[in-house]
Structure 1
């Protein structure tokens, strides 16, 4: 077997920002399916449905599969192949992704009264917010639209525009930037672990942690750029005062709990996927090096 061409320097980490409060975060190549009745409830499932979880996960799957094509071209000696596409499709199983999010979300909200949250998202304003978030997320899958959104957010920030100020208040109320950065770094660490466990190269846990932290500033800058571009695109069409009300919801105990629960669910999902991608990439490289 030829020596792998992979090195720490040319590893492409998962830089796509972790999910935010906007519904947007596999020990081998699949996630074990636990009985949903053991951790989910009708109430939390209903809230997730109101938050557009199923559609959001469909979009995440599309994003992930597109990312996996780039990953193959950058990391695998033979580039993208039908076999790699089949492996990626199994990793990005919508059923497994939904299971992971539902489990984390329900477990985190066990002792929380979610009735005020359900009422908010059942109301016309809440439904509009979810629709705008999903539309913006889908639009940001186009590279040109994503770049335009980022540029617009930077321009609004320089000008001190109200659109930026309101979104900045919303981000700070939910500590969304920090949570996204932590989620992205966790995913990057899991990707490394998958590569190491798959035999792509040898790295200690300390070396993995050091390398991920070395890229923290770049991860933070990329995440902030994407996050503000996305939020400004999503919320600009809202009626005056609506975003302020949404921000106030984020400051309540229930809103903070929902935010944390969403991050717990999506962090678990992205960590599983990242590890599985790293493991699959390592295995693919070993096969191609034979």
Structure 2
């Protein structure tokens, strides 16, 4: 669940999705959603996104776009729409999966502690000073190959956290380009194909940044966990239920991030054109 850069038509695409077919019991899905701290994570992602939107405005728009741009960004990062899209996609991705086993783990005392630590660390990283300190601490552990780093490395590889996040970030970047193209502000000759080439040119930087963030976040979040608890979490992650849950989370969040990125591209285009006029 790495930070990445909602289409204007999001409300249409969200409610145009087919009604949930035969999923696990909806009460189970809702209970799992809450147990995983999803509402809190989405709220943090909204804060990250609004801050990113301000940075984007400063880079692309005269005077940062002003209050109107901030209003547009706040609308794109609408927490209710974000929550609804993720909740629907998450439930659809879990069709046929062993939700009971997921609930058993994350409603246990161990699972509750893990989620509390993840949410707390994610919120703490909203502070740039904390984020920088966590990266420095992680770099030291990585260089020394400490036992805790090696345990986290196994967890990262088991859950394919680097590759999955890199793919999600590349797709979000491409969606932003498409928003700019559809908005009519890209120079003549810039097409979806050339945009894709530009996006792939960012792959190495995205991979490096993703690797740095993933390890700094996980080493910080799980520092209070005992080796036994971390091993138990890894063991759960290796089960079919753990892998299915990981896949469902990526599916749910990646779709949301792509919608957001495309919306930011469209909104940027609209503001650039209006300011030129």
TM-score category of the 2 structures, normalised to the smaller one: over 0.9
Of the three residues 32, 40, 43, the one matched with 1:58 is 43
SS in 2 for 1:31: helix
Q: Distance in 1 between matches of 2:11 and 2:109?
A: 36
- Give the equivalent residue in structure 2 for 1:7: none
The answer on 1:266 being equivalent to 2:253 is: yes
Q: Distance in 2 between matches of 1:36 and 1:132?
A: 33
TM-score by length of 1: 0.89
Segments of 4+ in structure 1 off by > 6 A? none
CA contact (8 A) 1:187 1:271 kept: yes
The answer on 1:181 being equivalent to 2:162 is: no
CA contact (8 A) 2:170 2:199 kept: yes
TM-score by length of 2: 0.93
- Give the equivalent residue in structure 2 for 1:146: 131
- Give the equivalent residue in structure 2 for 1:137: 122
Q: 1:26 to 1:70 in 2, by over 3 A?
A: closer
Q: Distance in 2 between matches of 1:204 and 1:61?
A: 30
Aligned length in residues: 270
SS in 1 for 2:64: coil
Give deviations 1:174-205, integer Å, cap 9, x for gaps.
11111000010110000110111111114212
**C-alpha RMSD over aligned residues:** 1.8
CA contact (8 A) 1:78 1:288 kept: no
Q: Distance in 1 between matches of 2:7 and 2:266?
A: 9
Q: Distance in 2 between matches of 1:129 and 1:198?
A: 42
- Give the equivalent residue in structure 1 for 2:95: 110
Q: How does 1:1-290 map to 2 (within 5 A)?
A: 17-18=2-3, 26-28=6-8, 30-32=10-12, 33-34=14-15, 38-39=19-20, 41-201=26-186, 202=188, 203-290=190-277
SS in 1 for 2:98: coil
- Give the equivalent residue in structure 2 for 1:6: none
Deviation, 1:154, is 0.9
Give deviations 1:90-114, integer Å, cap 9, x for gaps.
1101111111111211111111111
Q: 1:276 to 1:35 in 2, by over 3 A?
A: closer
Deviation, 1:80, is 3.5
Q: Distance in 2 between matches of 1:217 and 1:51?
A: 31
Q: 1:81 to 1:198 in 2, by over 3 A?
A: same
Q: Which runs of 5+ in 1 are unaligned?
A: 1-15, 20-24
Give deviations 1:222-273, integer Å, cap 9, x for gaps.
0100110000000010123111111111111111000000000000110000
Q: Distance in 1 between matches of 2:233 and 2:135?
A: 22
Q: Distance in 1 between matches of 2:27 and 2:265?
A: 34
Moved more, 216-225 or 26-35: 26-35
CA contact (8 A) 1:18 1:181 kept: no
